[in-house]
């Protein structure tokens, strides 16, 4: 029986990716492990698309469904234009419940500058809590989108904001009473407020304007999972510096309580950026000018040198992403 959560990379490749038979020449980026977006050739322009479900959050599902898919488009350095929502709601859902979800989605779409262009909405016995699948669409000049295939040995690994942003916010929003046993109301509100930082559209557009060797918004699998996936695509290794990875104190406290690893906790709101050394400073300066906190957390190595986290002077191998740490809490 399969485990709850995102499929691990080996199973995804074996049971899903390898089953895809037909490939079109006008598809520039095909389905693959670690690929957030598909890219389709439209002559002078290319269309970038990505789809994601929201299954682990209830209170903020309307907001999250917009930001998560738009983040994927932004990770290619492309501005999202439209988004479609498939909304599946359980029996007992009220009109007020639906209105609240759509008001969240509409506000988030306005923040991202993206239009909700269609979708599907139904009440169904197939789910026992709200589930939304969002598909975002972006358009850019041909060759504009960034791909992890461009990563080179010697590249700098940059990161925006902090680890575990989305996971911290979801736990704080859905388990507030439990957290109140060891956190103050102020700290719980601080954790919940992290969900206001989950968009990386500004991050992606800013870094993309300078030029990168690939970007990845940090979703399920966390910081370590995102770096592993990018290195898998490029066929390279990496060294991450544990002490350089920023993390909020409240995230550390929540993760310690639930005995989960914040480096493998869903972190939408953070972007991993691969940059050539000669563009590192310009990217960091551009992000700072846009009000986005960012720093360097590692470097790209030849594949034979390994893929590891350097912590307390020891090398810890970074393994393929498994089910996100969030699912140890949300059951």
Q: Which of 131, 147, 142, 133 is nearest to 230 (CA)?
A: 147
- Identify the domain boundary among 141, 167, 186: 141
Q: Which of 35, 326, 8, 309 is nearest to 165 (CA)?
A: 326
Confidence of residue 151 (pLDDT cuts 50, 70, 90): very high
The answer to whether residues 300 and 151 touch, using CB atoms and an 8 Å cutoff, is yes
- The confidence score (pLDDT) of residue 278 equals 96
Most confident option among 76-85, 171-180, 245-254? 245-254
Say whether both 234 and 158 belong to one domain. yes
- Identify the domain boundary among 141, 164, 192: 141
Say whether both 114 and 155 belong to one domain. no
Rounded to two decimals, what is the model's pTM?
0.85
- The confidence score (pLDDT) of residue 18 equals 94
Say whether both 244 and 220 belong to one domain. yes
Say whether both 175 and 222 belong to one domain. yes
- Identify the domain boundary among 141, 161, 182: 141
| Alpha-carbon distances, residue 284 vs 196, 240, 291, 292, 297 (angstroms) | 22, 18, 11, 9, 12
Confidence of residue 289 (pLDDT cuts 50, 70, 90): very high
Cα separation of 146 and 192, whole Å? 32
Q: Domain tally for the chain?
A: 2
- The confidence score (pLDDT) of residue 4 equals 80
Domain assignment present for 130:
yes
pLDDT tens figures, 90-143: 999 999 999 999 999 999 999 999 999 999 999 999 999 999 999 999 998 887
Q: How many CA atoms lie within 13 A of 49 on its CB side?
A: 15
Domain that holds residue 166: 148-328
Domain assignment present for 2:
no
Give me the CATH number covering residue 101.
Answer: 3.30.1330.10
Cα separation of 202 and 199, whole Å? 7
For the chain, give the mean pLDDT.
93
Say whether both 289 and 166 belong to one domain. yes
Say whether both 164 and 221 belong to one domain. yes
Strands 45-54 and 38-42: antiparallel
Say whether both 223 and 129 belong to one domain. no
Say whether both 156 and 122 belong to one domain. no
Give the contacts of 274 (CB within 8 A, at least 6 positions apart): 148, 150, 151, 155, 156, 157, 158, 212, 213, 214, 215, 230, 300
Confidence of residue 251 (pLDDT cuts 50, 70, 90): very high
The answer to whether residues 130 and 89 touch, using CB atoms and an 8 Å cutoff, is yes
β partners of residue 272: 159, 216
Say whether both 184 and 107 belong to one domain. no
Q: Which of 310, 302, 193 is nearest to 263 (CA)?
A: 310
Say whether both 57 and 125 belong to one domain. yes
């Amino acid at each position: 029986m399969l485990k709850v959560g995102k499929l691990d990379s080996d199973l995804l490749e074996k049971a899903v990716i390898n089953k895809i038979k037909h490939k079109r020449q006008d598809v520039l980026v095909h389905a693959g492990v670690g690929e957030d977006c598909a890219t389709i050739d439209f002559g002078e322009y290319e269309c970038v698309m990505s789809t994601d479900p929201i299954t682990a959050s209830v209170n903020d599902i309307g907001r999250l469904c917009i930001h998560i898919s738009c983040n994927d488009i932004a990770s290619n350095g492309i501005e999202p234009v439209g988004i479609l929502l498939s909304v599946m709601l359980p029996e007992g859902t009220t009109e007020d419940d639906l209105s609240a979800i759509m008001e969240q989605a509409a506000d988030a779409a306005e923040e991202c500058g993206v239009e909700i262009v269609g979708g599907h909405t139904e009440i169904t016995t197939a789910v026992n809590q709200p589930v939304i699948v969002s598909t975002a669409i972006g358009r850019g000049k041909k060759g504009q989108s960034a791909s992890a295939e461009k990563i080179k040995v010697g590249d700098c690994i940059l990161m925006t904001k902090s680890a575990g942003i989305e996971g911290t916010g979801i736990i704080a929003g859905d388990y507030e009473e439990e957290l109140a046993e060891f956190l103050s109301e102020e700290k719980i509100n601080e954790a919940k407020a992290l969900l206001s930082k989950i968009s990386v559209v500004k991050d992606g557009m800013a870094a993309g304007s300078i030029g990168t060797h690939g970007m990845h918004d940090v979703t399920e699998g966390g910081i370590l999972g995102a770096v592993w996936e990018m290195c898998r695509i490029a066929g390279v290794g990496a060294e991450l510096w544990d002490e350089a990875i920023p993390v909020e104190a409240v995230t550390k406290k929540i993760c310690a309580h639930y005995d989960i690893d914040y480096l493998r906790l869903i972190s939408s709101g953070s972007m991993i950026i691969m940059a050539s050394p000669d563009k590192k400073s310009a990217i960091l300066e551009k992000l700072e000018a846009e009000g986005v906190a960012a720093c360097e957390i590692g470097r790209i190595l030849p594949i034979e040198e390994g893929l590891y986290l350097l912590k307390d002077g020891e090398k810890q191998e970074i393994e393929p992403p498994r089910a996100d740490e969030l699912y140890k809490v949300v059951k």
